[in-house]
Structure formats: C-alpha cells, structure tokens
Amino acid sequence: MKLQDKVAVITGAASGMGREIALIYAKEGASVVVSDLNLEGAEATVQEIKNNGGNAVALKTNVALEDDIQQLIDKTIDTFGKVDILVNNAGIMDNMEPAADIEDKIWDRIFAVNTTSVMRSTRKVLPLFLEQQGGIIVNIASAGGLYGARAGAAYTASKHAVVGFTKNTGFMYADKGIRCNAIAPGAVITNIGASMTNINQYGAAKQQLGMAINPRAGSAEEIAKVALFLASDDSSFLNGTVITADGGWTAY
C-alpha cells in the first residue's frame, strides 16, 4: 500500500473531494484524521473507513479559527503520535462578485477559509516535519487560482494566493525532506455550491461564458487519485508545483 503507517490530516473531509481523499488514503494504509466543521458528516466518513477496515478519527474544526487549527494538529499528535501528510482541502465559494460588488465581510470570510487556514495549518505542521526530516503538504487550489474568471474576484484572489504559497513553501523546504504541491481542479461535482448565498448575476453571467468550452465535470474520486499520487513516493520529484486536473478545460 502506498501510504502504509502514515498519518494524514485532511480538512473539509466530511464530503466532496475531502471525503474521497480520506477514503483513498485509508485504503492505502494511512491513519486518517477527518476534519470538518460538519462533525456528523466527518463521523460518517470515519465510519465508512472503519467499515472498510481502515483507521480514522473525526475532529470538528472551523479552519477559519486559529485555535481550532492548533487543536486539530495537537489532537492528531495526541492520538497518533505524528503527522506525515497534511491536506488543506477545506474551501468555500464566493457569490461570483466582480470587484465593484465585493463586501469586506465576504472577502474576509473567503480568505480566512481558503487562504489563511492553509498558511496556519502549514505553519503548525512544519516544525514537526522539520524534526522528523520529512512531510508532505497537498493544497487544494483551483483552476480559479490559475485563471481569471472561474469564479468571483474574492475566490479567484484567494486561490491565486494558495498557488503562490504552495510554490514558496515547496521551494523553501525542498532540502529538508518536505514537499508541498497543489491540485487545481476544474469543474468538479461537489456540494461547494452550498456555500454560495446570494449569487451575483452579472459576475455569474461573465463566468458562465467559459463553461461553454468545458469538456465535462469531474468527480471527487478523480481528484482524490491525484491527491494520492502527490502524497505517495510516486511523486517524489514533484515539489512546489500545481497539477491542473480539469479534463482539458484550460487547455483551450
């Protein structure tokens, strides 16, 4: 198995891509910490892992809160004694607002969940990784972090920041046995749309123009397979890079 005896922390793992990443990591031998604000959903993911013979625990975490991220890693250490893999998957959408329509509270919320949480969780695990001279970080970015109009301005900016943070972290710690890479999914069938509260019609209409060239939507399972690749030794020479997984959408 590709992740035998590894300990993986996955945020936003109650549903969607995070859930599928948790399932495939456990199948490949990892002990998994299923982290999510939705504790009931996280516990359901854990139960499925256990039903399949895997090892996992659920932890309720609001990644927008620094104390919650601190507790997430501390409880992982208390439970499993180490962290080998961190997957920063938790994320929310904006409402497709262009710059003129952004409200500070929306901007701040998007960045707190999508970007600041990635920095804080990375900052928390790096001393552990440095001590054990190894560790892997997988960030879930977005095609919206590579191009300009896959979402609104706030989400787009937040995911561009994740891409830059990934590259910087990968380079800075490359000689310490630490790898940090990201996945940029295109359109994937998940429930992230539930985080949208009041869609901006102008922004949505502009964003929709690009959907005409999208070959198809992907599945969460397809993204999870990329996350497995990045967490395993199969990707040992990949560091500080972003894998675009979008079915060819951005190839046009």
Asked whether the beta carbons of 36 and 53 are under 8 A apart, the reply is: no
Number of neighbours of residue 145 by Cβ within 10 angstroms: 28
Give which of 228, 249, 230, 242 is closest to 32, Cα–Cα: 228
CB contact at 8 A, 220 and 20? yes
* Structural tokens at position 63: 């990644």
Q: How many residues are listed for the chain in this entry?
A: 252
Question: Which positions are catalytic?
Answer: 155
Residue 193 to residue 215: CA distance in whole angstroms: 20
Query: By C-alpha distance, which of 53, 19, 23, 22 is closest to 38?
Result: 19
DSSP state of 188: B
Decide: residue 130, CB within 10 A, 0-12 exposed, 13-18 middle, 19+ buried. Answer: middle
